[in-house]
Amino acid sequence: MDPTLGRYPTSRMRRTRSTDNIRRLVAETRLGPQDFIWPLFIKDGEALREPVASMPGVERLSVDQVADEARRAEDLGIPAIALFPMTDPAKKDATGSEALNPDNLVCRATRAVRDACPEMVILCDAALDPYTDHGHDGVLREGKILNDETVELLKRQAVLQAEAGCDTISPSDMMDGRIGAIRAALDAAGHQEVRIISYAAKYASAFYGPFREAVGSAAALVGDKRTYQMDPANTDEALREVAKDLDEGADMVMVKPGMPYLDIVRRVKDAFGAPTYAYHVSGEYAMLMGAIENGWLDRERTILETLLCFKRAGADGVLTYFAREAAEILTRR
């Protein structure tokens, strides 16, 4: 291309920004309800909706309410929800054995959503942290998180969740080798059609704080998760994590947290071309809501711009606590 062709005053970049119609015509990225995965917190109870203090607008819901929310998601065109249980502390122990109870909260919620919305994509985390009394994602012994013993439990947890109606297992634990092991376990149990969305590049992040309050694992957590979650300093390592997970059979991959890690999203999408998702995590939600509630940021514009940026960076979708509100705004327009 002759660069002088594009030189001012012959060329004026503002011509394609001058009206709403032309802007819509040249937009490279679009955002819609189909881009969202909506996370929901579940708690034991009946007709319960309990606010999460550090996440204004987010509530813990009893199983009956979760089914209602899933119907709402479906009406709004949101294709997927992710379920996170707040386990009664009395049911927590060192190995997270409640994870293997086929009637635990997440399995009951999954069955309720599956009944209410047969077509809904349902994500269930494979990880032990909602169930362990020390708050870690794996089995803790003598100060160490045991990789292979944890993977054995995750396999069984994933099969139980699939049996409850979960169609998309989301291993969020960051143990080595868990994707291949979970894939083999699902297949052996006849669940060849159940997908795996791997939290492949999951960082040891300060931005998970409000989530840990929401599921009640914050108070329990002993130490930090840096021996299994990734160091925020690294990117090449993220590519190796994603390569391994895809090789082991992951159908989709996730990068987490979201906005501070868009460089990782871009590299992962460019390198593998796999379905790639970003988790806009609880701390990011809390930051934005803090500013929005103070009147420092415009609510709707901030929400939509934030979510659009994930798509521009290469994400095929976003797991976000704003899913419902963003879908409402977008369907109103």
Q: How far is the CB of 22 from ligand PBG (least distance, A)?
A: 38
By the 10 Å C-beta count (0-12 exposed, 13-18 middle, 19+ buried), 236 is classed as exposed
Nearest residue (CB) to ligand PBG, 62 versus 131: 131
Catalytic, out of 92, 155, 202, 269: 202
By the 10 Å C-beta count (0-12 exposed, 13-18 middle, 19+ buried), 243 is classed as middle
Nearest residue (CB) to ligand PBG, 248 versus 284: 284
Told to judge if 202 belongs to the known catalytic residues of this protein, a careful annotator would answer: yes
Nearest residue (CB) to ligand PBG, 283 versus 314: 283
**Binding site residues, ligand PBG, CB under 6 A:** 125, 127, 129, 137, 172-173, 208, 211-212, 225, 281-282
| Alpha carbon 9 to its chain's center | 47
Nearest residue (CB) to ligand PBG, 23 versus 226: 226
Contact 108, 83 (CB under 8 A): no
Catalytic, out of 155, 256, 269, 311: 256
Contact 169, 195 (CB under 8 A): yes
Q: How far is the CB of 312 from ligand PBG (least distance, A)?
A: 21
Report DSSP letters for 72-101, one per residue.
Answer: HHHHHT--EEEEEE---GGG-BTT-GGGG-
Told to judge if 155 belongs to the known catalytic residues of this protein, a careful annotator would answer: no
Q: Which two tokens stand for residue 31?
A: 């955002």
96, 228, 258, 266, 279 from 319: Cα distances, Å: 25, 22, 9, 16, 5
Nearest residue (CB) to ligand PBG, 35 versus 137: 137
Contact 177, 257 (CB under 8 A): no
Q: How far is the CB of 279 from ligand PBG (least distance, A)?
A: 6
Q: Which two tokens stand for residue 16?
A: 């394609």
Report DSSP letters for 204-251, one per residue.
Answer: --GGGHHHHHHHT-TTT--S-STTTSBPTT-SHHHHHHHHHHHHHT-S
Nearest residue (CB) to ligand PBG, 172 versus 198: 172
**Which among 76, 77, 74 is positioned nearest to 117, based on CA atoms?**
74
Q: How far is the CB of 231 from ligand PBG (least distance, A)?
A: 14
**Paired sense of beta strands 139-141 and 59-61, if any:** unpaired
Catalytic machinery residues: 202, 256
